[in-house]
Structure 1
Amino acid sequence: MTQVLRAAAIHTGKQILLNGWIAIADGRVTAIGTEDIDPIYADAQVTELEGTMVPGYVDIHCHGGGGGAFGGSGEDALAAARTALRTHLNHGTTTMVASLVTGAIDQVAESVRTLGPLVDAGEIAGIHLEGPWLSLKHKGAHAPELLKAPTPEDIATIFDAHPGAVKMVTIAPELEGGIDAVRNFVARGAIAAVGHSDVDYDGAAEAIDAGANNVTHLFNAMNSIHHRIPGPIIKFLDDERITVELIADGVHLHPGIVKHAAETAGRGRTIFVTDSMDATDMSDGDYMLGSLEVSVLDGVARLKSNGSIAGSTLTMERAVQFAVAEAGLEFEDALAAATTTPAAALGRTDIGNLEVGARADVVVLDPSLNVTKVYRGGELAVER
């Protein structure tokens, strides 16, 4: 059955429609328009929405939420994953890449094997490996004893656990075999993301030349900018071949840095991610991130061992609000960083927009950019 959603404004990802409408059938957008609804939809169910319609948010770097984390094996792991998905769906995220923290190779492979069917079913858009091929110097919240250099054998063990499930890998390309690993990931159809790395300016250029096309949480867990030793950040911001992730929460990045980085990289290269953990939408307290103990106070997650930031409790809803209200970005730029740009990084044209043919993932926002309704595949999933 065809339904029509109508609102005072629709941001489709390519255009802004005032007094606009979209028609939906079989979970897809079949038509868009403004003013009078096309007469062919005279018998369709029409829903008048209060607020602004935007595409569903796309988060390509998230570890969990609502008490559930991505990882592990068996039915408990699937239940935890679905808890995390539901938590972020409540905040407008209709497409999620499940991020795994560093683990032993066999453990990571087992998690890929467990979550793979969720990728096949479209519940998650893929799996992101954040570790174990990371720099010890910039390990962040990753178990140091499990970090190692990549080998073709270990890469194959994880990727082949469920072919096609791994969509992104964070790597420190300066590790032995790191550049070859970047080429390996890209050849397998995955995003090669530079992160948790001690790479310098020239090393960043080498990684990009090898095919690296994303940066894991820019500024965090990498060398900073110095006027004589520029480090990798300047290269990442300048090079048109690579997208950059920003954790727009005011904890990982100052509002001014979010604004500067987003405006420097531009609308088509800036990606908002949450990097959130299972404590998202939960109370303060003690949690686990992989094998590491984490304490959450006032919504800020830190390792109990040394106080390092350990992921976040951010949602995409809050990231967009922060970017606009506190960092001063234009709404259209913030929206693109949460929708069309991460979708494009995944090579997807059916998500992150509300153009004809796209999956009917719709978020309705009030004037304060609070999420009031969420449709996924044309079905009302959240009403707040």
Structure 2
Amino acid sequence: MSQRLAITGGTVVTPEAAITNGIVLCEDGRISFVSSASEAAPDENSQIIDATGCVVMPGLIDTHFHGSGGDDVMANGAAGIGRIARNLLQFGTTGFLATTIAARHAELLRAIDDVKEAELALNKAPAAHLLGLHIEGPYINVKYKGAQPVEGIRDPNFDECAELLAAAENRIKIMTLAPELPGGLELIKWLKARGVIASLGHSECDYDTALAAIEAGATRATHLFNAMSGLHHRKPGLAAAALNEPAICAELICDGVHLHPQVVRHAWRSKGRDGITLVTDATAAQGMGDGEYTLGSFQVKVRGNLCTLMDGQTIAGSVLTMNRALSNAHAFAGLDWLDLAHTASLAPAQACGIANRKGTLEAGKDADVAIFKPDFTVTHTVIAGQVAYAA
């Protein structure tokens, strides 16, 4: 017998509209119908979620993410990645890219092996989908390393890159790099030819170098304004280029720590829906409260919304969750539900090369759904048409 799920009564967010009193019908893991509830009714064999008073969204996808619930994607092996995937459900996250930090080559290869092992273990599990890898570094500028470990930072090495891509078997979706490094522009072209998004970040490049990187094929900026040459009226850097150039989709960390709310508003007004993707850059401390935690090879401490190295000064990722990223983007810059669905679901799906099957609520696509109260609290997360989380 087919597995059927009907989500009824809520405001259903599609690419074109937010449908009041909508309905989403799911069958055998895929969406079969999306419209007003007046257009269809669930059959007697369907499991029903009454979403009255709630908002029904495509599942959220986090494309810059290091850990959650005490586990780090590089420190706790495949089992830790599996726990992360299950922990993310409570935040409405249905997919993520395991994101590495600057590390020695052997450590990156081990992280790739862990992701592959976790992917097999998670197959058909009630957990967020592990969609691949975002390699943040190691080819970044040490002057803008942020919390990245200096021993893992180096100039581009094409032999290393080839080995990473071969080991990952098409799982590397994004690589963050500094284009001003020797071989940086050539690496961007090399990555583009192999279907990997080159994201500009941890960089002190000037405006012209940023433009050259975009000409070479870069299409993304890693955590806009953070760990990059900033916006100066006589010396525009990477941040200015990312704001100005429509080819760039810029990551925003909307936690109120990495970016002032008015800077988020400025970025939104400059880039618009098609130029922004929401990310968390979350560490293992996500969801853990105040304390000390492991991020890759070093310790971080958390006080409130602030995650720093042990010096208490250097920001080291975040404790942001995707549902709070939506809430803050709405509060800071006025993004509506359609904007939020685009920047937290569709744009990330496009970056992962899976927008043909994920990222929007449309018939024929995977039935990955998140249901929110008006305050952005998650009530249900649906994975492949099955309720994987219920508050």
Question: Per the shorter chain, which TM-score range?
Answer: over 0.9
* Alignment partner of 2:147 out of 141, 146, 150: 141
Q: Secondary structure of the residue that 2:61 maps to in structure 1?
A: strand
Per the alignment, residue 109 of structure 2 pairs with 109
Verify the 8 A CA contact 1:321 1:369 in the aligned structure 2.
yes
- Against the structure 1 CA distance between its residues 289 and 35, is the aligned structure 2 distance closer, same or farther, given a 3 Å change threshold? closer
Is the counterpart of residue 60 in structure 1 residue 63 in structure 2? Answer: yes
C-alpha separation in 1, matches of 2:203 and 2:256: 22
- Against the structure 1 CA distance between its residues 150 and 365, is the aligned structure 2 distance closer, same or farther, given a 3 Å change threshold? same
Is the counterpart of residue 31 in structure 1 residue 33 in structure 2? Answer: yes
When structure 1 is superposed on structure 2, of 245-254 and 158-167 the one drifting more is: 158-167
Counterpart code for 2:64: H
- Against the structure 1 CA distance between its residues 170 and 119, is the aligned structure 2 distance closer, same or farther, given a 3 Å change threshold? farther
C-alpha separation in 1, matches of 2:354 and 2:40: 28
Alignment of 1:3-22 (within 5 A): 3-22=5-24
Per the alignment, residue 372 of structure 1 pairs with 379
Alignment of 1:60-79 (within 5 A): 60-72=63-75, 76-79=76-79
Instruction: Give the Å deviation of 1:65.
Output: 0.4
Counterpart code for 2:167: A
Per the alignment, residue 233 of structure 2 pairs with 227
Output one character per residue of 1:172-204: Cα deviation in whole Å (capped at 9) or x when no partner.
011111111111211221111010011110111
* Alignment partner of 1:256 out of 262, 286, 289: 262
Instruction: Give the Å deviation of 1:42.
Output: 5.9
Per the alignment, residue 96 of structure 1 pairs with 96
C-alpha separation in 2, matches of 1:182 and 1:164: 17
Alignment of 1:149-298 (within 5 A): 149-298=155-304
Question: What TM-score do the two structures reach when normalised by structure 1?
Answer: 0.94
Verify the 8 A CA contact 1:134 1:148 in the aligned structure 2.
yes
Instruction: Give the Å deviation of 1:119.
Output: 4.7
Instruction: Give the Å deviation of 1:346.
Output: 2.1
Instruction: Give the Å deviation of 1:370.
Output: 1.4
- Against the structure 1 CA distance between its residues 49 and 382, is the aligned structure 2 distance closer, same or farther, given a 3 Å change threshold? same
C-alpha separation in 2, matches of 1:34 and 1:328: 26
Alignment of 1:337-348 (within 5 A): 337-348=343-354
Instruction: Give the Å deviation of 1:39.
Output: 6.6
Instruction: Give the Å deviation of 1:323.
Output: 1.2
Counterpart code for 2:363: V
Verify the 8 A CA contact 2:173 2:351 in the aligned structure 1.
no
Verify the 8 A CA contact 1:65 1:278 in the aligned structure 2.
yes
Verify the 8 A CA contact 1:13 1:55 in the aligned structure 2.
no
Instruction: Give the Å deviation of 1:40.
Output: 8.7
Per the alignment, residue 361 of structure 1 pairs with 368
When structure 1 is superposed on structure 2, of 357-366 and 304-313 the one drifting more is: 304-313
State the aligned residue count: 381
Alignment of 1:39-50 (within 5 A): 41=43, 44-50=46-52
Q: Secondary structure of the residue that 2:168 maps to in structure 1?
A: coil
Q: Percent identity?
A: 35
C-alpha separation in 1, matches of 2:5 and 2:344: 26
Output one character per residue of 1:95-137: Cα deviation in whole Å (capped at 9) or x when no partner.
1011011110111012112212445748311101111111010
Verify the 8 A CA contact 2:203 2:238 in the aligned structure 1.
no
Counterpart code for 1:110: R
Question: What TM-score do the two structures reach when normalised by structure 2?
Answer: 0.93
